[in-house]
């Protein structure tokens, strides 16, 4: 909260709101999926969900990506302060680094939480996904957005394999899990 006060990482300001809407939401994935290997978090912002997930899966290698320098500096501050190993934050735009050999099809899991409209985030995430990996998106429940997302799945060579509904407070949310066809 202290860091957020002078860098404006999140509009959520109360300790309760931060715990519920950021930490608990980020950690909910652990109830449904066992992460392993290499994970890319696109649009990490203040480090969510990547940093909380790293504490849940310490053996997993995490790369947190955001295009905003102050957010990446904040994530590196938090990573260092927590003494976390096997996690790094990089300042980059997904669409620009996706074709680089060190990133292209290199990740077992690509996660993203509230980053972009479904068709857009799928286009950004797909190039990073290994042959047998999964894209896992934290989304609000929105049938219209899912319909739009389904329209580009074939073009991207992806399929929706699972949805997991969950709630944070009064808000209904869903994990959308995609794999290559």
CA angle 69/173/109 to nearest 5° reads 55
For the chain, which residues make up each domain, given as ranges? 2-180
Q: Judge whether residue 14 has pLDDT over 80.
A: no
Note the pLDDT tens digit of each residue in 119-158: 999 999 999 999 999 999 999 988 899 999 999 999 999 9
Of how many residues is the chain composed? Answer: 181
Q: Are strands 129-140 and 107-113 parallel, antiparallel or unpaired?
A: parallel
Does the pTM exceed 0.85?
yes
Does domain 2-180 sit in CATH 3.30.70.580? no
Q: Which range has the worst mean pLDDT, 9-23, 65-79, 95-109, 120-134?
A: 9-23
Closest residue by Cα to residue 86 from 106, 61, 111, 64: 61
Closest residue by Cα to residue 7 from 47, 41, 39: 47
């Amino acid at each position: 909260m202290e860091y957020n006060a002078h860098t404006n990482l999140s509009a959520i300001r109360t300790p309760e709101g931060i715990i519920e809407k950021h930490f608990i939401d980020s950690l909910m994935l652990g109830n449904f999926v066992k992460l392993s290997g290499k994970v890319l978090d696109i649009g990490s912002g203040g480090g969510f969900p990547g940093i909380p997930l790293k504490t849940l899966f310490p053996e997993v290698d995490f790369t947190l990506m955001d295009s905003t320098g102050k957010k990446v500096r904040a994530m590196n501050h938090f990573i260092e302060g927590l003494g976390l190993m096997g996690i790094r934050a990089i300042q980059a735009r997904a669409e620009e680094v996706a074709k680089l050999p060190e990133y292209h099809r290199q990740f077992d899991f690509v996660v993203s939480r509230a980053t972009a409209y479904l068709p857009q985030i799928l286009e950004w995430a797909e190039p990073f996904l290994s042959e047998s990996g999964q894209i896992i998106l934290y989304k609000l429940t929105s049938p219209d957005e899912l319909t739009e997302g389904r329209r580009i799945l074939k073009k991207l060579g992806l399929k929706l394999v699972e949805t997991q509904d969950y709630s944070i407070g009064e808000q209904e949310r869903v994990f959308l899990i995609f794999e290559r066809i």
